[in-house]
Structure 1
Protein backbone atom coordinates (compact mmCIF):
# COMPACT_ATOMS: atom_id res chain seq x y z
CA UNK A 1 0.00 0.00 0.00
CA UNK A 2 1.50 3.35 -1.06
CA UNK A 3 1.43 6.74 0.62
CA UNK A 4 -1.29 8.17 -1.64
CA UNK A 5 -3.80 5.85 0.03
CA UNK A 6 -4.26 8.49 2.68
CA UNK A 7 -6.01 10.82 0.24
CA UNK A 8 -7.60 8.31 -2.13
CA UNK A 9 -9.45 5.75 -0.01
CA UNK A 10 -12.82 6.50 1.61
CA UNK A 11 -13.62 5.33 5.10
CA UNK A 12 -15.75 2.46 3.73
CA UNK A 13 -12.70 0.95 2.07
CA UNK A 14 -10.73 1.43 5.24
CA UNK A 15 -13.34 -0.32 7.36
CA UNK A 16 -13.37 -3.18 4.89
CA UNK A 17 -9.69 -3.71 5.44
CA UNK A 18 -8.55 -2.37 2.06
CA UNK A 19 -6.44 0.37 3.65
CA UNK A 20 -4.15 0.11 6.68
CA UNK A 21 -5.03 2.20 9.69
CA UNK A 22 -3.96 5.84 9.75
CA UNK A 23 -1.99 7.06 12.76
CA UNK A 24 -1.31 10.72 13.57
CA UNK A 25 1.31 11.74 16.12
CA UNK A 26 0.22 15.11 17.50
CA UNK A 27 0.16 17.58 20.38
CA UNK A 28 -2.61 19.68 21.88
CA UNK A 29 -1.26 23.04 20.66
CA UNK A 30 -0.34 22.14 17.07
CA UNK A 31 -2.41 24.00 14.43
CA UNK A 32 -1.04 21.78 11.67
CA UNK A 33 -2.26 18.71 13.56
CA UNK A 34 -5.75 20.20 13.59
CA UNK A 35 -5.50 21.04 9.89
CA UNK A 36 -4.35 17.49 9.08
CA UNK A 37 -7.25 15.95 10.99
CA UNK A 38 -9.74 18.30 9.36
CA UNK A 39 -8.41 17.35 5.94
CA UNK A 40 -8.64 13.62 6.69
CA UNK A 41 -12.17 14.10 7.98
CA UNK A 42 -13.10 15.88 4.74
CA UNK A 43 -11.79 12.84 2.82
CA UNK A 44 -13.88 10.42 4.89
CA UNK A 45 -10.86 8.98 6.67
CA UNK A 46 -10.58 7.69 10.23
CA UNK A 47 -7.41 7.72 12.27
CA UNK A 48 -5.82 6.93 15.60
CA UNK A 49 -4.26 9.92 17.36
CA UNK A 50 -1.14 9.54 19.50
CA UNK A 51 -0.52 12.55 21.74
CA UNK A 52 3.23 12.80 22.23
CA UNK A 53 2.86 15.74 24.63
CA UNK A 54 1.13 13.38 27.05
CA UNK A 55 3.48 10.43 26.65
CA UNK A 56 7.28 10.90 26.44
CA UNK A 57 7.67 7.26 25.43
CA UNK A 58 5.49 7.81 22.36
CA UNK A 59 7.50 10.92 21.52
CA UNK A 60 10.70 8.85 21.53
CA UNK A 61 9.03 6.19 19.39
CA UNK A 62 7.91 8.80 16.86
CA UNK A 63 11.38 10.34 16.65
CA UNK A 64 12.97 6.93 16.19
CA UNK A 65 10.53 6.00 13.40
CA UNK A 66 10.60 9.31 11.53
CA UNK A 67 13.92 11.00 12.44
CA UNK A 68 11.81 14.11 12.96
CA UNK A 69 10.81 16.06 16.05
CA UNK A 70 7.91 18.07 14.63
CA UNK A 71 4.22 17.18 14.52
CA UNK A 72 2.01 16.04 12.99
CA UNK A 73 3.69 12.89 11.74
CA UNK A 74 1.30 10.70 9.78
CA UNK A 75 1.45 6.99 8.97
CA UNK A 76 -0.65 4.75 6.73
CA UNK A 77 -0.05 1.39 8.31
CA UNK A 78 3.73 1.24 8.64
CA UNK A 79 4.32 3.69 5.76
CA UNK A 80 5.46 7.15 6.88
CA UNK A 81 3.59 9.84 4.93
CA UNK A 82 5.30 12.72 6.72
CA UNK A 83 3.84 15.94 8.09
CA UNK A 84 0.91 18.10 7.04
CA UNK A 85 2.73 19.62 4.06
CA UNK A 86 3.78 16.17 2.87
CA UNK A 87 0.21 14.91 3.05
CA UNK A 88 -1.13 17.91 1.15
CA UNK A 89 1.55 17.48 -1.51
CA UNK A 90 0.30 13.93 -2.12
CA UNK A 91 -3.19 15.33 -2.61
CA UNK A 92 -2.15 17.70 -5.40
CA UNK A 93 -3.00 16.60 -8.94
CA UNK A 94 -0.13 15.04 -10.86
CA UNK A 95 1.64 13.60 -7.82
CA UNK A 96 2.62 10.01 -8.56
CA UNK A 97 2.69 7.25 -5.99
CA UNK A 98 6.43 6.89 -6.50
CA UNK A 99 7.17 10.54 -5.69
CA UNK A 100 9.01 11.22 -2.47
CA UNK A 101 6.64 13.53 -0.64
CA UNK A 102 9.15 14.10 2.13
CA UNK A 103 11.12 16.25 -0.32
CA UNK A 104 8.17 18.09 -1.89
CA UNK A 105 8.34 21.15 0.28
CA UNK A 106 12.00 21.77 -0.48
CA UNK A 107 11.61 21.03 -4.19
CA UNK A 108 8.57 23.26 -4.52
CA UNK A 109 10.20 26.05 -2.52
CA UNK A 110 13.34 25.89 -4.68
CA UNK A 111 11.47 25.70 -7.99
CA UNK A 112 9.06 28.51 -7.14
CA UNK A 113 11.85 30.76 -5.86
CA UNK A 114 13.98 30.21 -8.96
CA UNK A 115 11.09 30.70 -11.36
CA UNK A 116 9.82 33.88 -9.75
CA UNK A 117 13.29 35.38 -9.27
CA UNK A 118 13.86 34.96 -13.00
CA UNK A 119 10.47 36.50 -13.70
CA UNK A 120 11.08 39.47 -11.38
CA UNK A 121 14.62 40.14 -12.60
CA UNK A 122 13.38 39.95 -16.18
CA UNK A 123 11.48 43.19 -15.64
CA UNK A 124 13.33 46.45 -16.48
CA UNK A 125 13.18 47.87 -12.96
CA UNK A 126 16.58 48.95 -11.71
CA UNK A 127 15.52 49.43 -8.08
CA UNK A 128 14.41 45.80 -7.80
CA UNK A 129 17.50 44.55 -9.61
CA UNK A 130 19.82 46.59 -7.40
CA UNK A 131 18.12 45.34 -4.26
CA UNK A 132 18.59 41.74 -5.34
CA UNK A 133 22.25 42.47 -6.11
CA UNK A 134 22.66 44.10 -2.70
CA UNK A 135 21.17 41.02 -1.04
CA UNK A 136 23.72 38.84 -2.83
CA UNK A 137 26.61 41.07 -1.81
CA UNK A 138 25.47 41.28 1.81
CA UNK A 139 25.96 37.56 2.41
CA UNK A 140 29.41 37.33 0.85
CA UNK A 141 32.37 36.82 3.17
CA UNK A 142 33.87 39.95 4.70
CA UNK A 143 34.76 40.83 8.28
CA UNK A 144 32.08 38.24 9.07
CA UNK A 145 32.25 34.88 7.33
CA UNK A 146 29.36 33.46 5.28
CA UNK A 147 28.29 31.09 8.05
CA UNK A 148 27.93 33.91 10.60
CA UNK A 149 26.00 36.10 8.16
CA UNK A 150 23.58 33.30 7.29
CA UNK A 151 22.98 32.62 10.99
CA UNK A 152 22.23 36.31 11.50
CA UNK A 153 19.84 36.17 8.56
CA UNK A 154 18.15 33.13 10.09
CA UNK A 155 17.57 34.87 13.44
CA UNK A 156 16.24 38.00 11.74
CA UNK A 157 13.91 35.92 9.58
CA UNK A 158 12.54 34.10 12.63
CA UNK A 159 11.86 37.36 14.45
CA UNK A 160 10.14 38.75 11.33
CA UNK A 161 8.21 35.45 11.03
CA UNK A 162 8.96 35.03 7.32
CA UNK A 163 8.72 31.29 6.61
CA UNK A 164 10.22 31.53 3.11
CA UNK A 165 13.15 33.53 4.51
CA UNK A 166 13.60 31.05 7.36
CA UNK A 167 13.61 28.08 4.98
CA UNK A 168 16.11 29.77 2.70
CA UNK A 169 18.52 30.63 5.52
CA UNK A 170 18.19 27.15 7.06
CA UNK A 171 19.29 25.70 3.72
CA UNK A 172 22.14 28.17 3.30
CA UNK A 173 23.30 27.65 6.89
CA UNK A 174 23.42 23.91 6.33
CA UNK A 175 25.47 24.41 3.18
CA UNK A 176 27.80 26.67 5.18
CA UNK A 177 28.47 23.85 7.64
CA UNK A 178 26.17 24.76 10.53
CA UNK A 179 25.69 21.78 12.85
CA UNK A 180 22.38 20.73 14.37
CA UNK A 181 23.58 21.96 17.77
CA UNK A 182 24.45 25.34 16.25
CA UNK A 183 21.07 25.47 14.55
CA UNK A 184 19.23 24.98 17.82
CA UNK A 185 21.30 27.59 19.63
CA UNK A 186 20.44 29.98 16.81
CA UNK A 187 16.77 28.98 16.96
CA UNK A 188 16.83 29.73 20.69
CA UNK A 189 18.08 33.27 20.05
CA UNK A 190 15.33 33.88 17.51
CA UNK A 191 12.74 32.48 19.91
CA UNK A 192 13.89 34.59 22.86
CA UNK A 193 14.04 37.79 20.80
CA UNK A 194 10.80 37.15 18.91
CA UNK A 195 8.76 35.60 21.71
CA UNK A 196 6.27 32.74 21.76
CA UNK A 197 4.64 33.89 18.50
CA UNK A 198 7.77 32.52 16.77
CA UNK A 199 7.01 28.95 17.90
CA UNK A 200 4.90 27.93 14.84
CA UNK A 201 7.70 29.19 12.59
CA UNK A 202 10.25 27.31 14.68
CA UNK A 203 8.30 24.10 14.11
CA UNK A 204 8.37 24.60 10.36
CA UNK A 205 12.06 25.51 10.47
CA UNK A 206 12.90 22.27 12.28
CA UNK A 207 10.75 20.26 9.88
CA UNK A 208 12.57 21.87 6.94
CA UNK A 209 15.93 21.09 8.55
CA UNK A 210 14.86 17.48 9.15
CA UNK A 211 14.02 17.13 5.46
CA UNK A 212 17.35 18.62 4.43
CA UNK A 213 19.16 16.22 6.74
CA UNK A 214 17.16 13.43 5.13
CA UNK A 215 18.85 14.16 1.81
CA UNK A 216 16.63 16.68 0.02
CA UNK A 217 18.49 19.14 -2.21
CA UNK A 218 18.90 22.66 -0.85
CA UNK A 219 18.10 25.76 -2.92
CA UNK A 220 21.01 27.47 -4.63
CA UNK A 221 22.65 30.45 -2.96
CA UNK A 222 21.47 34.05 -3.20
CA UNK A 223 19.48 35.93 -4.29
CA UNK A 224 16.43 35.46 -2.02
Structure 2
Protein backbone atom coordinates (compact mmCIF):
# COMPACT_ATOMS: atom_id res chain seq x y z
CA UNK A 1 0.00 0.00 0.00
CA UNK A 2 2.67 2.54 -0.93
CA UNK A 3 0.11 5.22 -1.75
CA UNK A 4 -1.57 4.92 1.65
CA UNK A 5 1.76 4.57 3.45
CA UNK A 6 2.91 7.88 1.96
CA UNK A 7 -0.37 9.77 2.09
CA UNK A 8 -1.98 8.52 5.31
CA UNK A 9 0.69 6.69 7.27
CA UNK A 10 -1.38 6.48 10.48
CA UNK A 11 -4.28 4.94 8.58
CA UNK A 12 -1.97 2.49 6.79
CA UNK A 13 -0.44 1.51 10.12
CA UNK A 14 -3.89 0.99 11.68
CA UNK A 15 -4.90 -1.18 8.72
CA UNK A 16 -1.74 -3.27 9.18
CA UNK A 17 -2.51 -3.70 12.86
CA UNK A 18 -6.04 -4.81 12.00
CA UNK A 19 -4.64 -7.37 9.56
CA UNK A 20 -2.17 -8.65 12.14
CA UNK A 21 -4.81 -8.93 14.84
CA UNK A 22 -7.01 -11.00 12.53
CA UNK A 23 -4.46 -13.28 10.89
CA UNK A 24 -2.13 -13.91 13.85
CA UNK A 25 -3.33 -16.12 16.69
CA UNK A 26 -6.90 -16.94 17.52
CA UNK A 27 -8.90 -20.14 17.27
CA UNK A 28 -8.60 -20.60 13.51
CA UNK A 29 -5.23 -21.55 12.08
CA UNK A 30 -3.58 -19.32 9.49
CA UNK A 31 -4.30 -21.65 6.57
CA UNK A 32 -8.04 -21.61 7.37
CA UNK A 33 -8.05 -17.83 7.66
CA UNK A 34 -6.30 -17.50 4.30
CA UNK A 35 -8.84 -19.86 2.70
CA UNK A 36 -11.64 -17.68 4.10
CA UNK A 37 -9.81 -14.64 2.72
CA UNK A 38 -9.65 -16.29 -0.71
CA UNK A 39 -13.40 -16.96 -0.71
CA UNK A 40 -14.07 -13.41 0.49
CA UNK A 41 -11.76 -11.99 -2.18
CA UNK A 42 -13.62 -13.90 -4.88
CA UNK A 43 -16.90 -12.45 -3.64
CA UNK A 44 -15.39 -8.95 -3.54
CA UNK A 45 -13.99 -9.53 -7.05
CA UNK A 46 -10.49 -8.49 -6.00
CA UNK A 47 -8.03 -10.30 -8.25
CA UNK A 48 -5.04 -8.90 -6.34
CA UNK A 49 -6.47 -10.16 -3.03
CA UNK A 50 -7.16 -13.63 -4.48
CA UNK A 51 -3.55 -13.80 -5.64
CA UNK A 52 -2.04 -12.60 -2.36
CA UNK A 53 -4.21 -14.78 -0.11
CA UNK A 54 -3.74 -17.82 -2.35
CA UNK A 55 0.03 -17.45 -2.09
CA UNK A 56 -0.22 -17.02 1.67
CA UNK A 57 -2.54 -20.03 1.97
CA UNK A 58 -0.03 -22.19 0.07
CA UNK A 59 2.76 -20.88 2.31
CA UNK A 60 0.71 -22.07 5.30
CA UNK A 61 0.07 -25.54 3.90
CA UNK A 62 -2.98 -25.21 1.65
CA UNK A 63 -3.07 -27.28 -1.49
CA UNK A 64 -4.68 -26.70 -4.87
CA UNK A 65 -7.84 -28.64 -4.02
CA UNK A 66 -8.38 -26.72 -0.76
CA UNK A 67 -8.12 -23.43 -2.63
CA UNK A 68 -10.50 -24.70 -5.29
CA UNK A 69 -12.98 -25.72 -2.58
CA UNK A 70 -12.76 -22.26 -0.98
CA UNK A 71 -13.54 -20.73 -4.37
CA UNK A 72 -16.42 -23.20 -4.85
CA UNK A 73 -17.91 -22.10 -1.51
CA UNK A 74 -17.74 -18.48 -2.69
CA UNK A 75 -19.42 -19.48 -5.96
CA UNK A 76 -22.21 -21.18 -4.03
CA UNK A 77 -22.80 -18.15 -1.81
CA UNK A 78 -22.76 -15.82 -4.82
CA UNK A 79 -25.26 -17.97 -6.70
CA UNK A 80 -27.50 -18.55 -3.72
CA UNK A 81 -27.58 -14.88 -2.84
CA UNK A 82 -29.04 -14.15 -6.25
CA UNK A 83 -31.93 -16.45 -5.45
CA UNK A 84 -32.39 -15.39 -1.86
CA UNK A 85 -32.43 -11.61 -2.30
CA UNK A 86 -35.71 -11.86 -4.18
CA UNK A 87 -37.57 -12.91 -1.02
CA UNK A 88 -38.93 -9.77 0.53
CA UNK A 89 -41.63 -9.48 3.13
CA UNK A 90 -41.94 -13.26 3.27
CA UNK A 91 -42.84 -13.59 -0.40
CA UNK A 92 -40.79 -14.00 -3.53
CA UNK A 93 -40.70 -10.74 -5.45
CA UNK A 94 -41.42 -12.59 -8.70
CA UNK A 95 -44.56 -14.12 -7.18
CA UNK A 96 -45.67 -10.58 -6.34
CA UNK A 97 -44.86 -9.27 -9.81
CA UNK A 98 -46.58 -12.06 -11.70
CA UNK A 99 -49.53 -12.57 -9.36
CA UNK A 100 -52.75 -12.50 -11.33
CA UNK A 101 -54.46 -9.22 -10.68
CA UNK A 102 -58.15 -8.61 -11.04
CA UNK A 103 -58.84 -5.86 -13.56
CA UNK A 104 -59.63 -2.51 -11.96
CA UNK A 105 -63.31 -1.72 -11.80
CA UNK A 106 -64.34 1.41 -13.66
CA UNK A 107 -64.88 4.37 -11.32
CA UNK A 108 -68.63 4.41 -12.08
CA UNK A 109 -69.02 0.77 -10.93
CA UNK A 110 -67.16 1.53 -7.70
CA UNK A 111 -69.49 4.42 -6.92
CA UNK A 112 -72.58 2.32 -7.62
CA UNK A 113 -71.40 -0.39 -5.23
CA UNK A 114 -70.71 2.17 -2.54
CA UNK A 115 -74.17 3.75 -2.88
CA UNK A 116 -76.00 0.49 -3.38
CA UNK A 117 -77.31 1.45 -6.84
CA UNK A 118 -77.24 4.24 -9.39
CA UNK A 119 -79.93 6.29 -7.65
CA UNK A 120 -78.10 6.39 -4.30
CA UNK A 121 -80.40 3.99 -2.38
Per the shorter chain, which TM-score range? Answer: 0.5 to 0.7
Tell me what 2:58 maps to.
Answer: 174
Instruction: Please say if residues 158 and 194 of structure 1, whose CA atoms lie closer than 8 Å, have aligned partners that are also in contact.
Output: no
User: Which is strand-richer, 1 or 2?
Assistant: 1
> Which residue pairs with 2:70 in the alignment?
186
Number of corresponding residues: 80
Q: Which has the higher contact order (CA 8 A, sep 6+)?
A: 1
TM-score by length of 1: 0.33
Of residues 16, 23, 26 in structure 2, which corresponds to 1:132?
A: 16
CA deviation string 1:43-72 (max 9, x = no partner)? xxxxxxxxxxxxxxxxxxxxxxxxxxxxxx
1:152 Cα offset (Å): 0.8
Consecutive unaligned residues of structure 2, counting only runs of 5 or more, are: 81-121
Partner of 2:26: 142
Query: Counting helix residues as a fraction of each chain, which structure ranks higher?
Result: 2
Q: Which runs of 4+ in 1 moved over 4 A?
A: none
Which of residues 134, 149, 160 in structure 1 aligns to 2:44? Answer: 160
Question: CA 1:132–1:190 in structure 2 vs 1: closer, same or farther (change >3 Å)?
Answer: same
